[in-house]
Structure 1
Amino acid sequence: MKSFVKLALGLISVLALALLGVPAGAASATAADPWGTYKSVTISGGHAELKGTYTLTGDNLSVPITISDKTADTTRCGLAVFRYSLSGGATQTANFPFCAPTAADADNSTTGTLNDADFLDVRVCMSKSATNTTPIAGSCSAWKDIYEKADTVFEDDWGNFYSGAYKTVKNYAKGHVEVDKGDLSLDGRLYDKVKKYCAIAVVKVTTNSPDEQEFTHCGTGYGKIEIDDSGVKAVDIKVCVYDEANDRTFKCGKWKSIYVD
């Protein structure tokens, strides 16, 4: 008889809670996405299997799994191995062994939850007992990619965006924007091509309400546009001609969208 004890089930439950966390929040969930059945390397006619699904609720990844011990041997058990990271942190692993109570095939199911998971890979191996989380050498399947968080960073070049024409000549602006979870980093260059007057760029940053910032440049070269902000939902810009002597803005181009959430 295999050395299966209730400790195996307890260990899986404890590890699932301690290492993988507990679901949180009441956000709507995606449909369950099954990721197939993976087999360990067969040794002496026996192997282990792992299958499951995942469901994403907000930032929480729920992973129901079934580990199957098909070794028909008293010295080998199934071992599920998870590789993951949370909230941009270091890569971690968690190993869940399961031994059938007899030499017959048997399954065990449990569910783990990763809070704010960046990615999840799995593989299935064999171990020597219900309390041994070290894979038997040569028994592991290849790693399988199960989940990877969608890129939350918006990054793009913007422009050229032009003012209206003054005697056929237009001022313009161009630059780069990056938004990571609402944190804005915007930089750009403003060019004055209307030599009699200056160039002005009006940048509208919308958080809870829109806020406009003005950047001016007169003459050759370019003026810098730099904005850092948080909680950003949208960024728009328009470029105009600016009469510095009379503090007058005219010949504006249309509002152009740089970013929208």
Structure 2
Amino acid sequence: MFLQIQKMMNQHQKSTAEILLISMLLTLVDLVLMTMVISGIDDLKGGVKSLLVQIASLKDCQTELTKMMAKALMQVPKDEDDNLSIIEKPMESIEELNSLENSLGDKEFRKSLSRFLRTIGGSTTGDAVRIILKRIGTLWLWSKYSYKGRMGKIAICRLRLCTMIHGAVLKTVKGSTTKIIEKEISEFLKHAPYQRGGPKSKVLSDTSTDSGTMPLFSDDSQILRMSFKGSPVGFTI
């Protein structure tokens, strides 16, 4: 009987020891987990701090980039829309064209006009010349000019503007040459009075267009010279 009681006490003590050991192990696990959590929080704080530093650095970079872009924009030449103000509408008088010619003495103005002329366009040399000349002046104005100043007209070849037109077409139209440009300018000025909108366009035939087609009769004197017995050719009385 005594032996049984002692055996039960030994088992109870053993059970208590196991419980104590398990409790100590659990406590140790809790300590380890807490340590890991605290370490993780510290790492997280460090990561957040590093991220904040990077964000601040990006903001500084953005500010610097904005300053660089603003500085670059100030140094960039005026864009095409700004260049349009150089010649707002086709000029109508010799005085206006002379004023433009005088302005070409300024280096910056020449650069702006050169950019403007290059943006006008034209797929061929002839197209480019016609578009540029019509953008610069009206047919009434160009009817007072010829390339070399023949027939009492003003010589456009003596103008710095003519040199700039040559340069613009040479740069924008592939295969263009100085001789071709000179020929196209001469042809345009020759036919300018007779195109629709020109000073002599009223004598154009009904089938004529403003593409440079010459009229059947350049003036009324030719009609009179071809009269027969007081009747114009093609009519009967």
- Greater per-residue helix proportion: 2
Q: Tell me: higher relative CO, structure 1 or 2? Use CA pairs within 8 A at least 6 residues apart.
A: 1
Structure showing greater Rg: 2
TM-score tier, shorter chain, comes to under 0.3
Scaled by the length of structure 2, the TM-score of the pair is 0.23
- TM (norm. structure 1) is 0.22
